[in-house]
Amino acid sequence: MEYRTLAGTDLKLSALTFGAWAAGGWMWGTTERKDALQAIRASYDNGITSIDTAPIYGQGNSEEIVGEAIAGIPRDKVQILTKFGLRWDLDKGRLSMRSKDLKGESINIHIYAGKESIIKECEDSLRRLKTDYIDLYQLHWPDPTTPIAESFEAVNRLIEQGKVRYAGVSNYNAEQMAEAEKTTFIASNQIPYSMVNRRIEKETLPYCIKHHKSILAYSPLERGLLTGKLKPGHEFAEGDHRATNSYFTDDSIERTNAFLAKLKPMAEAKDATLSQLVLRWTIEQPGITIALVGARNAEQAIQNAAAIHIKLTPEEIQFINDLIPPA
């Protein structure tokens, strides 16, 4: 595995970081707890020491699974990244979406990053994760109802108390990052980035490069679209958010698979899967520090980790870039 230092910190993260959204079983259809635990442990055994989660992923379930999975591992050998600012148990802030919890009961999810709410969220996360500190604490989504300064004053307090090591943001644009930086040091921005979603290249990516901020790319496989395994007419499990996502229409899947077919000879020549080639390409892109990738079981986790062994020359990267369809 390769390890990369989060900009402006002494925190080293595995270039491929385990993304634990699906492990929580929320919005991805059914996820078996034992499979999720085995996936995280297999990832760690193969060098993936960093795990990204959030309270909203299964309404605490993902964090609890992460806490159980890393039990017994020396705390300084694993890096925990989690988030705050999405509440399903508090009617404050801006309504983000209506959903169902793991029991099938309706919940309203609010974006809210008020100071006292953040303090409570941190305590709850520490308890679920069974740890006394979080390596990177990230504001999950911009909260239009709370001043950015108020949110990060709370994070500063947590840093002073030793409960959080570093602050980050998620889904922030360049202007919001600059505003947050007035209150505390922001190490990173976790934001979507993939071969078929390169929107950040216009503004956010240049800002992060200029100001020496790390980018944690999530959905590098575009939630499975870039694996090449999906076919038009695919039926998603009940509760899987991809069923209504525009990336997963039959036309989109067909176009993407036609593009991936052009990459397949390169992957085969490297004795790699398309997923592994896509992951390696992602972490080779300018400004991208790490890529988050999930796994439903140990086999997928081992395959993901093996992507680190693929080598791409500048010429091969340019070849891939030239093939990528326009956004």
Rounded to whole angstroms, how far apart are CA atoms 286 and 22? Answer: 27
Q: CA dist 178 to 149, 173, 208, 317, Å?
A: 11, 9, 10, 31
CB 174 within 8 A of CB 207: yes
Positive or negative CA dihedral for 176, 131, 104, 232? positive
Q: Given 57, 137, 166, 218, which residue is catalytic?
A: 57
Record the tokens describing residue 217, joined without a space.
Answer: 């790319």
Measure CA of the first residue to CA of the last residue in the chain; give whole Å. Answer: 31
Pairs from 90-93 (Cβ < 8 Å, separation ≥ 24): 90/117, 92/117, 92/145, 93/143, 93/145, 93/146
Amino acid (1-letter code) at residue 176: Q
172 a catalytic residue: no
Residues forming the active site:
57
